[in-house]
Amino acid sequence: MSTATTERVDGAAEAGGVERVGVVGAGTMGAGIGELCARAGHDVRLAVRSQDSAAAGLRRITTSLDRALAKGKIDEDARDSALARITFTTDLADLADRQLVVESVAEEETVKHEIFSTLDKVVEDPEAILATNTSSLSVARLARVTGRPGQVLGIHFFNPVPVLPLVELVGSVLTDGRAVRRAEAFVTDGLGKHVIHTPDRAGFVVNALLFPYLLSAIRMVDTGTATADVVDSGMELGCSHPLGPLKLADLIGLDTTVAIARAMYEETKEPLFAPPPLLLRMVECGLLGKKSGRGFYTYR
């Protein structure tokens, strides 16, 4: 066995025995997860709906890697090596040999149920971890559509994935303890992230704290109390926040903000989680934030 091979096997053992990673979805979060895993030396395959989605996902990853190169965070060899570790497929069956799969599609429970049901059938290794990057949905309900609920858990990354150091690890009442330990080893030793363990409850910890704040800021704009730039300037300059709440909502995506808020409201019935009328109207009109070119701000 060569030295290079030995190092790779040892690294996989430290990373929860994971070398081959699958990602379902190549939007902002899916592409970020794929890039992060590839940069860490893992073999990555992203499953997408179409060749157009694959091309868009590859552009996102390439742009991000080029940005890291320009900032001196990686060199050309690291960029090229990461890209060489990434492949795309339009067939979930091509994730059969993966040791860990992270689902990262829209916050629609029925869609996620279909994906997990299919992954359960096609992923061959019974010890493979099937993870969701959901921000708000029940991990236990996703686990129940599979025949291996003990292997299903939440691995919740934050945007931008390659930059932000935190990951919420969410085990449900059905998750096996060994799967949690393997996932933690993968995220910490394999990806270099900091893990916090959070309950399987809508919003987990971070979003349960963050979203009442975001929605309150939107209500201030909705009622005419203050404009978006005034609210953001107040929080950035008065509270040392790196990004104001309206800019952050635009970055998250206003449609995603609505989906997360609704999921948390449905579970808790807390009025603080109810999406404000202005937010609902903006989403209905296609004003989704940065990804659509217009939200509380206009982007070019």
* 207 belongs to the catalytic site: yes
* 168 belongs to the catalytic site: yes
Both tokens of 168, joined, read 């919420």
What the chain holds in terms of domains, given with CATH numbers, is 3-198 (3.40.50.720), 206-292 (1.10.1040.10)
Q: What is the pLDDT of residue 7?
A: 36
Strand (E) or helix (H) holding 110: helix 109-122
What residues pair up with 102 in beta bridges, in sequence order?
A: 23, 131
The DSSP 8-state label assigned to residue 134 in this structure reads -
Q: Considering the entire predicted model, what is its pTM?
A: 0.89
Both tokens of 113, joined, read 């149920």
- Residue 200 and residue 140 in contact, taking contact as beta carbons nearer than 8 Å: yes
Both tokens of 262, joined, read 């609704």
Q: What is the pLDDT of residue 14?
A: 55
Catalytic residue among 104, 156, 172, 184: 156
Cβ of 174: how many Cβ atoms within 10 Å?
A: 19
pLDDT digits 0-9 by tens, 161-175:
999 999 999 999 999
What residues pair up with 298 in beta bridges, in sequence order?
A: 294
Q: Tell me if residue 121 falls in helix, strand or coil.
A: helix
Catalytic residue among 53, 168, 172, 184: 168
Alpha-carbon distance of 36 to 1, in angstroms, equals 27
Alpha carbon 77 to its chain centroid, in Å, reads 26
Residue by residue, pLDDT tens for the chain (300 residues) are: 233 333 333 444 457 789 999 999 999 999 999 999 999 999 999 999 999 999 999 999 999 999 999 999 999 999 999 999 999 999 999 999 999 999 999 889 999 999 999 999 999 999 999 999 998 899 999 999 999 999 999 999 998 999 999 999 999 999 999 999 999 999 999 999 999 999 999 899 999 999 999 999 999 999 999 999 999 999 999 999 999 999 999 999 999 999 999 999 999 999 999 999 999 999 999 999 999 999 999 998
Alpha-carbon distance of 204 to 132, in angstroms, equals 13
Q: What is the pLDDT of residue 300?
A: 81
Catalytic residue among 104, 135, 136, 172: 135
Alpha-carbon distance of 145 to 48, in angstroms, equals 21
Pick from 37, 123, 130, 53: nearest CA to 86: 37
Pick from 48, 44, 70: nearest CA to 57: 48
- Residue 161 and residue 137 in contact, taking contact as beta carbons nearer than 8 Å: no
Q: What is the pLDDT of residue 59?
A: 97
The DSSP 8-state label assigned to residue 287 in this structure reads -
